[in-house]
């Protein structure tokens, strides 16, 4: 609006809402804070930026190493000094806690590329600080469990249902 003095009013300005007038109410000069006052904030910001850059670089290395060596995680593990962790067996439903609670982990684990072809997964981002590549260690086809293995769980489920029905009636 080109206003130079306090209390100066602009000419009418056409906007998408109609016409507007702008009035300069106050002028504030830019203020430079002393370095000592902002030093810790600057250091924290720089450290965070460096950590994010390092994380991105290492994630790229992980992607490249696991893609170049699709049948093993050992090469990437040794090159990047990362542990290889093994989960317990899990189904397509995953679990409520841990890595298998993440839908993208379940999807990758049961993908054709990983499950049928035996390759490493693509890089999976679980949150801003967690990425992983997975591969199948062991796969057991879906099968019905013997009754003796599920009898107690069935009894518990039926008891709970009956208790809920009786509670609802009461």
Reported as a single tens digit per residue, the pLDDT across 55-78 is: 999 999 999 999 999 999 999 999
Q: How far is CA 48 from the centre of its chain?
A: 18
pLDDT number for residue 131:
95
Runs of H (alpha helix) within the chain: 35-68, 74-80, 103-109, 147-169
pTM over 0.75: no
Q: What does the pLDDT read at residue 141? A: 80
pLDDT, position 109: 95
Examine the pLDDT at 142 and tell me if it is beyond 80: no
SS3 of residue 148 by DSSP: helix
Mean pLDDT of 1-26: 89
The pLDDT value recorded for residue 54 is: 95
Mean pLDDT of all residues in 82-99: 90
Averaged over 78-107, what is the pLDDT? Answer: 92
Report how far residue 49's alpha carbon sits from residue 167's, in angstroms, rounded to the nearest whole number: 57
């Amino acid at each position: 609006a080109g206003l130079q003095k306090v209390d100066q009013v602009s000419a009418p300005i056409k906007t998408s809402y109609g016409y507007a007038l702008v009035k300069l109410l106050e002028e504030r000069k830019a203020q430079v804070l002393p370095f000592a006052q902002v030093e810790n904030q600057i250091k924290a910001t720089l450290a965070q930026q460096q950590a994010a850059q390092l994380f991105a670089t290492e994630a790229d290395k992980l992607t490249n190493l696991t893609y170049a060596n699709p049948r093993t995680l050992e090469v990437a593990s040794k090159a990047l000094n990362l542990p290889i962790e093994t989960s317990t067996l899990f189904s397509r439903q995953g679990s409520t806690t841990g890595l298998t609670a993440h839908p993208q982990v379940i999807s990758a684990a049961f993908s054709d590329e990983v499950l049928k072809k035996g390759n490493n997964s693509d890089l999976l981002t679980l949150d801003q600080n967690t990425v992983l590549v997975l591969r199948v260690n062991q796969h057991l086809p879906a099968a019905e469990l013997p009754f003796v293995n599920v009898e107690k769980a069935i009894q518990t489920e039926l008891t709970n249902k009956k208790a809920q029905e009786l509670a609802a009636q009461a």
